[in-house]
Amino acid sequence: MSDGGGFRLLFENNPVPMWVYDVATLAFLEVNVAAVAHYGYSREEFLRMRITDIRPPDELERMNEAVAAQSADGAVLRRRGFWKHRLKDGRIREMETASHGLEFAGRRAALVVAIDMTELRDTQASLKKSSERLQMLHEIDRALIAAEAPVAIAEAALKRLRDLLDVPRAIVNLFDLEAGEAEWLAAIGRRRLHLGPGVRFPLTLMGDVSALARGELQVIETAALPRSEAADALLASGVETYMVVPMIAHGELIGAVSFGGAPSAFSEEQVDIAREVAAQMAIALAQARLTERVKRQAEELEQRVETRTQELRAANAEADRANRAKSDFLSRMSHELRTPLNAILGFGQLLERRVAEGRDRESVDQILKGGRHLLTLINEILDISRIEAGRLSLSSEPVQVGDALKRVLDLARPLAGDRHIAFVADDVLRDERYVLADSQRLQQVLLNLVSNAIKYNRDGGRITLACEVAREGWLRITVRDMGAGIAPALQRRLFTPFDRLGAESATVEGTGLGLALSKGLVEAMGGRIGVESTEGEGSAFWVELAQTASPDQRSGLGPRRDVAGVEAGGRQGTVLYIEDNASNLRLVERVLGEHTRMRLITAMQGRLGLALAHEHRPDLILADLHLPDMSGEEVLRAVLDDRALRATPVIILSADATPGQIKRLLAAGARAYLTKPLDVGQLLGEIEAALAPQGTT
Ligand code: ADP
């Protein structure tokens, strides 16, 4: 570089390798410091070399062509190019060169500037590759997320994987470690995708399973496998080697992806990608399996719930049926029991009227007492069974508190008088407030509480009745006694049927059903019942019912007429009694015979009774409800429909004490409804009332 110190300086100290060579001989004429540093030759060595000496052999041909072209045109050289150069230590570098023709020491020469592009190119290439790879993995990821079933996941992953790795064959297998088998989920060849699942083969084809479980991949030489159908098939399809990449999800080996190909077909990069995809797929497959299991379990659960519901429905129906059968049985039984009881009590009452004081009278009293106790028991059992079966029909009407208590006290006074027990109830008997209840049933409950307060009181004690507002809209009626009280531990047993809390050993009579029945009744009326008791001081039983402000002006449920003292003594006339039970017939026959001057005609069937009624025109008809040919209700309707008989009063006598039934027959036109066992006094009173001239009742 003869011309100009500035240019030489630029050449010498330039950080980019530069040299000048003789275009004709290709010999180096000058090199700079950077070239010496880059290529590893000293300046002296360079100046003994030609530019072909820094080319690898595979570049020589292209180099010679370029040189030939250059000498042929003879023009001033000015070109750029990419070349591979060899350093002194043998390493090959990618160089970008720019050449420029010039005169150097009188020769045709060229100045070359060479920039090492190796690193840049490598970086670019690997950037491109990794962005491609990321893109692919991302696509697989998306496909995995979108796919639900394991087969769909395997399919989505395999398609991308084949493109990414450019391997001829890939298979996704799930392992059944217990069975020692692998199941083929999906496979992909160059052109086709095969979808399992279902094909199973021995796990031995997957290599060392415990190594796979540790995350190590296996490279298998097909020919080295023990001979088997599967191995033969692999060989037949040209798979000499394959790589098995484990799929591990949450630490558990669930399967493998295997790649078939020629020996040593797998680069490190491919293996890396395969591992990544396998790991992703493992998670997706585990997830899918879990989802499938959960779905299956949900379905099973649903199925089980459905089955159980059906079973329960059937059991419920069965229980309902059994319950109905039970209450049918009870109501039939109680009817059957009442009929003979009717005879016992009826004839007992007749005797009672005839036998004066003395031992016989005592016997009669015992018979009546036993009979009445039995009657109470039957009635209470029947009521409880009706409540349990939900078949108790109750009315809901405004009932005046004072009225209800008055009626109860009227009934209870004789019993209290025997024990010198006084009532403190003046205020409450004037209480004009109303509660919503079934009048008859409320009276039954209150009578029960008052009877208990008498029974379990001390002789000469007091019973205090009160009514107060319990809470907004609710009235509480309290019956307080001065008895022994009830121990706290026993209090919750009070309302259990037949539990008498030990009272059975004392002389106090009872069934143990009263409170259980009262609770059932009060709750059926929408109210509550409870007790507060202090041992040694007494008990306070209370009933809470909804208060109602606007009572209907109802009639018909006024104070019960006291019929016991009324007798049809002097009255004459004919009574027709239609009844199929002989002892009932005899009883009524005796009652009328002994206490009235009435003639009795009887019929044991409904139709016969109606015929007799036409013939004899009786003044009164008594009819049983259960007759062999028609019901007492039909007899009643027939009488009312018959112009000739319409005016004849009909009194129903029945063992069926259901309030609904009683109401219905009274509404249908019966003059009265008497329940068996008959109360003789009541029967005589009703007969008297029915026969009295109009306006005197
Ligand atoms: P019963 O009076 O027919 O035995 P209840 O169901 O009416 O049946 O009462 C159950 C039991 O509760 C009684 O046997 C008695 O032991 C107890 N009991 C009821 N009322 C009182 C009361 N006022 N004081 C003390 N004990 C009572």
The minimum-distance atom of ligand 1 relative to the CA of 495 is 6
For residue 243, report the distance from its CA to the centre of ligand 1, in Å: 89
For residue 457, report the distance from its CA to the centre of ligand 1, in Å: 11
227 has a pLDDT exceeding 90: no
Q: How far apart are CA 286 and CA 284, in angstroms?
A: 6
Which residue has the least CA distance to atom 15 on ligand 1?
Answer: 500
Q: Is 307 helix (H, G, I), strand (E, B) or coil?
A: helix
Name which residue leads in pLDDT, 632 or 655: 632
Which residue has the least CA distance to atom 20 on ligand 1?
Answer: 452
Q: How confident is the model at residue 684 (pLDDT cuts 50, 70, 90)?
A: confident
254 has a pLDDT exceeding 50: yes
| DSSP characters over 442-487 | HHHHHHHHHHHHHHTSPTT-EEEEEEEEEETTEEEEEEE--S----
Identify the pLDDT of residue 474: 93
By CB neighbour count within 10 A (0-12 exposed, 13-18 middle, 19+ buried), where does 539 fall? buried
Name which residue leads in pLDDT, 572 or 413: 413
Identify the pLDDT of residue 696: 41
The minimum-distance atom of ligand 1 relative to the CA of 502 is 16
216 has a pLDDT exceeding 70: yes
What would the two tokens of residue 523 be?
């709750």
18 has a pLDDT exceeding 90: yes
**Mutational test site, ligand 1, from 379, 446, 454, 456, max ligand atoms within 8 Å of CB:** 456
Which residue has the least CA distance to atom 7 on ligand 1?
Answer: 514
Whether the ω angle into residue 197 lies within 30 degrees of 0, i.e. cis, is yes
For residue 506, report the distance from its CA to the centre of ligand 1, in Å: 12
**Mutational test site, ligand 1, from 494, 509, 519, max ligand atoms within 8 Å of CB:** 494
The minimum-distance atom of ligand 1 relative to the CA of 483 is 24
636 has a pLDDT exceeding 70: yes
What would the two tokens of residue 228 be?
């088997």
What would the two tokens of residue 694 be?
């109009």
The minimum-distance atom of ligand 1 relative to the CA of 497 is 6
Identify the pLDDT of residue 47: 95
Which residue has the least CA distance to atom 13 on ligand 1?
Answer: 500
Mean pLDDT of 431-446: 91
Identify the pLDDT of residue 558: 35
556 has a pLDDT exceeding 70: no
Pairing, β 78-86 against β 92-104: antiparallel
247 has a pLDDT exceeding 50: yes
213 has a pLDDT exceeding 70: yes
Mean pLDDT of 28-56: 95
550 has a pLDDT exceeding 70: no
What would the two tokens of residue 49 be?
């070399």
What would the two tokens of residue 118 be?
């190796």
Q: How confident is the model at residue 3 (pLDDT cuts 50, 70, 90)?
A: low
Q: How far apart are CA 609 and CA 454, in angstroms?
A: 47
637 has a pLDDT exceeding 90: yes
562 has a pLDDT exceeding 50: no
User: Is 454 within 8 Å of 417 (Cβ atoms)?
Assistant: no
For residue 664, report the distance from its CA to the centre of ligand 1, in Å: 34
User: Is 343 within 8 Å of 583 (Cβ atoms)?
Assistant: yes
Q: How far apart are CA 229 and CA 518, in angstroms?
A: 84
For residue 292, report the distance from its CA to the centre of ligand 1, in Å: 63
The minimum-distance atom of ligand 1 relative to the CA of 500 is 14
All residues at 6 or more sequence positions from 266 whose CB lies less than 8 Å from its CB, including other chains: 167, 219, 243, 259, 274
| Beta strand residue intervals within 50-168, DSSP E | 78-86, 92-104, 107-116
- Report residue 260: phi and psi, to 5°: -95, 150
For residue 674, report the distance from its CA to the centre of ligand 1, in Å: 29
Q: What's at 527, amino acid-wise? A: G
The angle subtended at Cα 358 by Cα 354 and Cα 360, nearest 5°, is: 60
For residue 512, report the distance from its CA to the centre of ligand 1, in Å: 7
Q: What's at 36, amino acid-wise? A: V
Q: What is the pLDDT of residues 324-346, one digit of tens each?
A: 777 677 767 777 787 788 888 88
DSSP state of 51: G
**DSSP 3-state percent helix, strand, coil across the chain (nearest 5):** 50, 25, 30
Average model confidence (pLDDT) across the chain: 84
Q: How far apart are CA 69 and CA 665, in angstroms?
A: 133
Identify the pLDDT of residue 460: 93
- In 3D space, the residue among 261, 76, 247 whose CA is nearest the CA of residue 169 turns out to be 261
- In 3D space, the residue among 129, 42, 116 whose CA is nearest the CA of residue 85 turns out to be 116
For residue 495, report the distance from its CA to the centre of ligand 1, in Å: 9
Q: How far apart are CA 387 and CA 395, in angstroms?
A: 14
The minimum-distance atom of ligand 1 relative to the CA of 513 is 6
For residue 458, report the distance from its CA to the centre of ligand 1, in Å: 14
Q: How confident is the model at residue 147 (pLDDT cuts 50, 70, 90)?
A: low
Identify the pLDDT of residue 435: 93
Identify the pLDDT of residue 552: 47
Torsion of CA 384, 386, 387, 393, to 10 degrees: -130
- In 3D space, the residue among 495, 488, 549 whose CA is nearest the CA of residue 522 turns out to be 495
DSSP state of 669: T
Pocket of ligand 1 (CB under 6 A): 448, 452-453, 456, 481, 483, 486, 494, 500-501, 503, 510-516, 539
For residue 447, report the distance from its CA to the centre of ligand 1, in Å: 13
Mean pLDDT of 183-189: 82
| Beta strand residue intervals within 223-299, DSSP E | 241-249, 252-261
What would the two tokens of residue 673 be?
């409804």
By CB neighbour count within 10 A (0-12 exposed, 13-18 middle, 19+ buried), where does 503 fall? middle
What would the two tokens of residue 104 be?
């150097």
Q: What is the pLDDT of residues 480-526, one digit of tens each?
A: 999 999 999 999 889 988 888 887 777 788 888 899 999 999 998 98
Q: What's at 666, amino acid-wise? A: L
| Percent of the chain topping pLDDT 70 | 91
189 has a pLDDT exceeding 50: yes
> Helices 680-691 and 582-595, interaxial angle, to 10°?
70
Name which residue leads in pLDDT, 177 or 260: 177
Pairing, β 218-221 against β 241-249: antiparallel
What would the two tokens of residue 495 be?
């309302």
Q: What is the pLDDT of residues 606-628, one digit of tens each?
A: 888 898 898 889 999 999 998 88
190 has a pLDDT exceeding 60: no
Instruction: Please write down the HEC assignment for all residues of 481-550.
Output: CCCCCCCHHHHCCCCCCCCCCCHHHCCCCCCCCHHHHHHHHHHHCCCEEEEEEECCCEEEEEEEEEEECC
Distances (CA, A) of 104 to 21, 22, 51: 9, 8, 16
Identify the pLDDT of residue 566: 34
Identify the pLDDT of residue 629: 85
Identify the pLDDT of residue 694: 53
| Percent of the chain topping pLDDT 90 | 37
Q: What is the pLDDT of residues 54-97, one digit of tens each?
A: 999 998 888 888 877 776 555 556 778 899 999 999 999 999 99
CA 580 to chain CA mean position, Å: 56
- In 3D space, the residue among 594, 588, 660, 595 whose CA is nearest the CA of residue 624 turns out to be 588
- Report residue 522: phi and psi, to 5°: -65, -45
For residue 538, report the distance from its CA to the centre of ligand 1, in Å: 12
The minimum-distance atom of ligand 1 relative to the CA of 516 is 6
115 has a pLDDT exceeding 80: yes
Identify the pLDDT of residue 564: 32
User: Is 546 within 8 Å of 436 (Cβ atoms)?
Assistant: yes
Identify the pLDDT of residue 193: 57
Mean pLDDT of 576-604: 84
Q: How far apart are CA 362 and CA 118, in angstroms?
A: 133
State which H helix or E strand residue 184 sits in.
strand 181-188
- Report residue 203: phi and psi, to 5°: -65, -20
Q: How far apart are CA 65 and CA 505, in angstroms?
A: 133
Q: Which residue do the tokens 């059944």 mark?
A: 176
> Helices 150-165 and 268-354, interaxial angle, to 10°?
170
For residue 442, report the distance from its CA to the centre of ligand 1, in Å: 18
Identify the pLDDT of residue 53: 94
Mean pLDDT of 110-129: 89
Which residue has the least CA distance to atom 4 on ligand 1?
Answer: 512
By CB neighbour count within 10 A (0-12 exposed, 13-18 middle, 19+ buried), where does 8 fall? middle
Mean pLDDT of 288-300: 87
Q: How far apart are CA 435 and CA 443, in angstroms?
A: 12
State which H helix or E strand residue 622 sits in.
strand 620-624
Count Cα neighbours of 435 within 13 Å in the Cβ-side half-sphere.
Answer: 31
Q: Which residues of 433-453 are buried (b: 16+ CB within 10 A; e: fewer)?
A: bbbbbbbbbbbbbbbbbbbbb
User: Is 578 within 8 Å of 587 (Cβ atoms)?
Assistant: no
Pairing, β 538-548 against β 528-534: antiparallel
User: Is 284 within 8 Å of 260 (Cβ atoms)?
Assistant: no
